[in-house]
């Protein structure tokens, strides 16, 4: 699953996989997801599954109650949101029926108190980069809402993450009086080495609907050209009957969804102010 499903698109367009192949619809969904991320300058965490961990090692976590399809969650992300190791995010490399293997070792291994979510995002929610300091104790990020600061160093001095003040909705980080340094030094460029995770959780209903509408517009546009040879009047010896003209019906559905997309763009501005 992603921000929406192929079934959502077929429901919105009243088309089927015999008319527009599912592979095409999935491609339209992917493009719509990237569009909404770019338009709102952030990404969204669509929850696939959640549960309680049983055990882990340095680069995996196991839920004995799970019955996943093998590699169903490869390239998605696992978020330890409660219990031991809470706030950690990792990219999933592969999965078995009950175990996720992640790309980077845990800072704190999860255990049987750890609750997790597996989430899908259309854009990479992890930023790791060297950036310029500000010369003061505050830093504003380009990507937010902020979900977790994984690591921070300033001029090669490691900063204890728990010593930071974080303001998630603003994407703001502030050094506290207990931090190893008090300022984001700016006497040279790129003295700040920062790794963090960002995005909106849970997936807002209006973002899901906007994705459905955008992907549906692409699906309808792909189908319009194939409707010109579709007959609309049938004459038999006993009767003559007409059905709705395929092009006209699709065009009107397209125009209706286009108006909805324009209305949703106004609503989405509240996410643009976050990001």
User: What's the fold here for domain 46-120?
Assistant: Elongation Factor Tu (Ef-tu); domain 3 (2.40.30)
The tokens for 136 are: 């003061």
**Domain extent listing, the chain:** 6-42+203-274, 46-120, 126-198
The tokens 């291994």 sit on which residue? Answer: 109
The per-residue pLDDT for 224 is 80
Cα–chain center distance at 66: 23
Residues of the chain with pLDDT under 50: 228-229, 243-245, 275
What pTM does this model have? 0.89
At CA 271, angle to CA 32 and CA 168, rounded to 5?
120
The per-residue pLDDT for 73 is 98
Torsion angle of C-alpha atoms 75, 81, 85, 87, degrees rounded to 10 = 80
Picking from 213, 211, 247, the residue whose alpha carbon sits closest to that of residue 227 is 247
Q: Which helix (H) or strand (E) holds 25?
A: helix 22-40
Task: Round the average pLDDT of the chain to a whole number and report it.
Answer: 92
The per-residue pLDDT for 141 is 96
**Is residue 113 within 8 Å of residue 83, measured between CB atoms?**
yes
* Cα gap 99→175, rounded to integer Å: 37
The per-residue pLDDT for 242 is 53
* Cα gap 20→48, rounded to integer Å: 26
């Amino acid at each position: 699953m992603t921000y929406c499903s192929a079934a959502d698109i077929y429901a919105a367009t009243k088309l089927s996989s015999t008319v527009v192949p599912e592979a095409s619809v999935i491609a339209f969904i992917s493009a719509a997801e990237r569009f909404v991320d770019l338009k709102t300058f952030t990404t969204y965490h669509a929850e696939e599954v959640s549960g309680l961990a049983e055990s882990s090692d340095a680069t995996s976590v196991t839920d004995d109650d799970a019955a996943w399809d093998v590699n169903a969650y490869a390239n998605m992300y696992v978020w330890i949101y409660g219990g031991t190791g809470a706030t950690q995010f990792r990219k999933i490399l592969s999965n078995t029926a009950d175990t996720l293997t992640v790309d980077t070792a845990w800072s704190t291994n999860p255990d049987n108190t750890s609750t997790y979510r597996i989430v899908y995002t259309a854009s990479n929610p992890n930023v790791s980069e060297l950036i310029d300091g500000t010369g003061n104790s505050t830093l504003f990020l380009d990507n937010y809402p902020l979900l977790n600061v994984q690591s921070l160093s300033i001029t090669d001095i490691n900063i204890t993450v728990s010593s930071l003040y974080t303001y998630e909705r603003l994407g703001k980080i502030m050094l506290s009086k207990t931090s190893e340094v008090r300022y984001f030094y700016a006497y040279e460029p790129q003295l700040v080495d920062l790794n963090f995770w960002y995005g909106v959780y849970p997936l807002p209903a209006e973002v899901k609907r906007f994705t459905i509408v955008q992907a549906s517009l692409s699906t309808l546009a792909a189908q319009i050209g194939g409707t010109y040879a579709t007959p609309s009047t049938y004459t038999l010896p006993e009767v003559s009957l007409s059905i709705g003209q395929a092009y006209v019906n699709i065009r009107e559905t397209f125009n209706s969804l286009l108006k909805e997309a324009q209305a949703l763009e106004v609503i989405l501005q509240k996410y643009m102010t976050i990001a």
